[in-house]
Amino acid sequence: MDSIAQNLDRPDRVQELVIKVKDGGSFDSDMNENGRMIIIGGPKDSFWGYALGTLFIRYFGIFIVLSILMLGMIFSGKIFQHLEHKKAKSASKPESQTVRAGKAETPNIADNGINPEMATAVAVALHLHFSGSRASDSMHLSSLRSTAWSQQGRAQIMGERSLMYNRHKR
């Protein structure tokens, strides 16, 4: 509401607002002339000032939050790279010691010269090849006969759907 306030300038950029209030008047919240005055008030901002201020805060707030998340991801990535490098360094140490001692490890090869990974790949390929040739015939739904029982079931389902989607006609 318009309070017709006097705006007085004070030193150090202070403003003083003077409002005349009367018990039971328009600024008394209980509107009763009872010796008590309850005043509820505060500054009034324009809608566009509030809307643009909020938009400005949200716009930069999103970038601030996303920047913090990005820095967290970069930092955690550096930690994981450091840990992985440390793990690789400690894993490579024993291998170099075994080569120096003359005990170079040979890959895990069976007697016929095929390693276990190759044998697994061949077994999976054979399984997929032979299981594909045993596939059963697909069921042809178009050739199924329509019985009275299935027609009655379809009619009941459609009737219930009709009740659900046509509520305004009830």
Predicted confidence (pLDDT) per residue in 3-26, tens digit: 677 888 889 888 887 888 888 887
User: Are 55 and 34 within one domain?
Assistant: no
Whether residue 150 lies inside any domain: the answer is: no
Tokens (6 digits) for 123: 């077994």
User: Are 31 and 64 within one domain?
Assistant: no
SS3 state of residue 153:
helix
SS3 state of residue 57:
helix
- Residues 109, 111: Cα–Cα separation, whole Å: 7
Tokens (6 digits) for 153: 């079931």
Q: Which residues pair with 18 in a beta bridge?
A: 6
Task: Look at residue 112 and tell me whether its pLDDT is greater than 60.
Answer: yes
User: Are 26 and 70 within one domain?
Assistant: no
Query: Mean pLDDT across the chain, nearest whole number?
Result: 78
Tokens (6 digits) for 87: 């793990």
User: Are 36 and 71 within one domain?
Assistant: no
Instruction: Give backbone dihedrals phi and psi of 8, rounded to 5 degrees, phi first.
Output: -110, 135
Higher pLDDT, residue 6 or 137: 6
User: Are 27 and 64 within one domain?
Assistant: no
Whether residue 74 lies inside any domain: the answer is: yes
Query: What is the per-residue pLDDT across 48-69, written as a single tens digit (0 to 9) for each?
Result: 788 888 888 888 889 999 999 9
Whether residue 4 lies inside any domain: the answer is: yes
Q: In terms of residue numbers, what domain contains 74?
A: 45-100
Task: Report how many domains make up the chain.
Answer: 2
Whether residue 136 lies inside any domain: the answer is: no
Domain endpoint, select from 76, 100, 124? 100
Whether residue 166 lies inside any domain: the answer is: no
- Residues 61, 52: Cα–Cα separation, whole Å: 14
Whether residue 119 lies inside any domain: the answer is: no
User: Are 2 and 19 within one domain?
Assistant: yes
Query: What is the pTM assigned to this prediction?
Result: 0.29
User: Are 2 and 37 within one domain?
Assistant: yes
Whether residue 111 lies inside any domain: the answer is: no
**Maximum Cα–Cα distance across the chain:** 109
